[in-house]
Amino acid sequence: MAIRRGRGVAAINYPTGMNLGGDPTQALVHSTPTGNFMVTLSSVDLGQGMKQIMAQICAETIGVPTDRVVVDTADTDTGPHCMGTFASRGTHRAGNAVIQAAKEARQVMLEVAAEELEVNASDLETDGQGNIQVKGAPQKSISIFDVALSAHFKRGRSISGRGMFLIPRSYPEKETGAMKPSTCYAHACTVAEVEVDDETGEVTVLTVKNVFEIGRALNPKMVEQQLVGGSWMGISHALYETTEPYYPNRDHGGTDFNQYLMPGPGDLAETEIIVLERPSADGPFGAKGPGEMCANPQIPAVANAVFDAVGVRIDTLPITPERILRALKARAAS
């Protein structure tokens, strides 16, 4: 009886978005009288930071700092339609809608600035700090604060825009299954190292090294929070979680966090996250949807590492100590 060490690898890809009945999301953007920008949506922030990332996308597109943007979302009296926050679609679909709306608003903003500065709108650029200036002559400039006041009280313009992003419905071909179920794909490769106690069947995940390709890290800190959490969830799926431990038997289902097993802080592996960015053709600033895929490669990587350690295959999830011991026993008997 011994503690045995093993390592395993897995590589995966993951589609962005759902496509059953078409995949639409809309956005509205408008400026306040003093040049702040409101993004109105009905997308849902699940805690992953949807509002923050929409603010950054709007700010980049209009050319203002992020703290000049406020996101008002998920009120059906004001927010235009969104399919919902799922299928790794939130940032991608809503982000594209916000870009389109913000571009339209930016154009009006530049037209008003052009009238104030008596130049052509096409000769103007934003400095990213809240000002609009003539290209090549930054001394000739006007603040967005003053442009918004002018639009509201003098020029009678609405600095606003409408955004719509729609992936049309794809009907799978009956006999061949030809279909376009999603758009850009994110990628990952994970290497997991485990220790398996062949006396108790207990698995300790020592390290997980995850490489994720996500199109574009729009906010690297938020990417990190999601990828680390996903990596943890993958380990949890591999080794611990189920509502029916003896499926298809319906008994023994956990009803609280004492009975439903998940790893605690002491069970977390040393986690490494490396991010590659190959911008997608249709993503907002190239972003793909990494929200779901980041929890997937750890499961087979851990399963393969368990085999590498003790030489038995557990092809049923979760990989519990009981299943490992039964497999070791069966192997010894044969």
Partner 1 sequence: MELRKDYFADVRKDGLNEIGQPRPRLDSPGHVTGKTAYFADRNFPGMLHLKMVRSPHHHARIRSIDTSEAEKHPGVVRVLTAKDVPHNVYTILILIQVGPEDETVLADGKVRWKGEAVVAVLAETERAAQEAAAKVKVDYEVLPAVFDMEEALKPGAPLVNEYHGQNYYLYDSGECRKVRFGDVEAGFAQADHILEQSYQSSPIEHAPTETTGCVVAPEGNDRFTCYTNTQAMFFTLDNASIILQMPGSKLHFVGGTVGGGFGGKVDVIVEPIAILGAKLTGRPVSFVYSREEEMQISSPRAAEKIVIKDGVMKDGRIVARKVTGYTDAGAYSRHSPYGAQKGAAHYPGPYTIPNVWIDTYCVYTNRTPSSAMRGFGVTIGDFALEVQMDKLARLIGMDPLEFRFINAYRDGDMKAHRQPTEGAALIECMQEASRAANWPVAEKYMAMSSYRKGA
Contact between 212 and 276 (Cβ < 8 Å): yes
Burial of 94 (0-12, 13-18, 19+ CB in 10 A): buried
Tokens of residue 329, six digits = 């026993």
Shortest Å, Cβ 187 to partner 1: 5
Q: Which of 77, 153, 266, 333 binds partner 1 (CB under 8 A)?
A: 77
- Contact letters (x/-) for partner 1, 144-173, by CB under 8 A? -------------------------x--x-
Q: Which of 28, 29, 39, 83 binds partner 1 (CB under 8 A)?
A: 83
Name 80's Cβ contacts closer than 8 Å, sequence gap at least 6: 26, 27, 28, 40, 41, 42
- Contact letters (x/-) for partner 1, 199-228, by CB under 8 A? ----------x-xxx-xxxxxxxxxx--xx
Which residues ranging from 270 to 299 are in contact with partner 1 (CB under 8 A)? 272-281, 285-286, 288, 291-293, 295-297, 299
Which residues ranging from 6 to 35 are in contact with partner 1 (CB under 8 A)? 7-15, 18, 20-22
Contact between 74 and 42 (Cβ < 8 Å): yes
Map residue 213 onto helix, strand or coil. Answer: strand
**By C-alpha distance, which of 37, 43, 38 is closest to 24?**
43
- Active-site hit among 116, 125, 202, 292: 292
**By C-alpha distance, which of 165, 186, 148, 137 is closest to 288?**
186
- Known catalytic residue at 111: no
Point out which span in 109-117, 131-139, 146-154, 245-253 binds partner 1 (CB under 8 A): 245-253
Contact between 44 and partner 1 per CB under 8 A:
yes
Residue numbers annotated as active site: 292
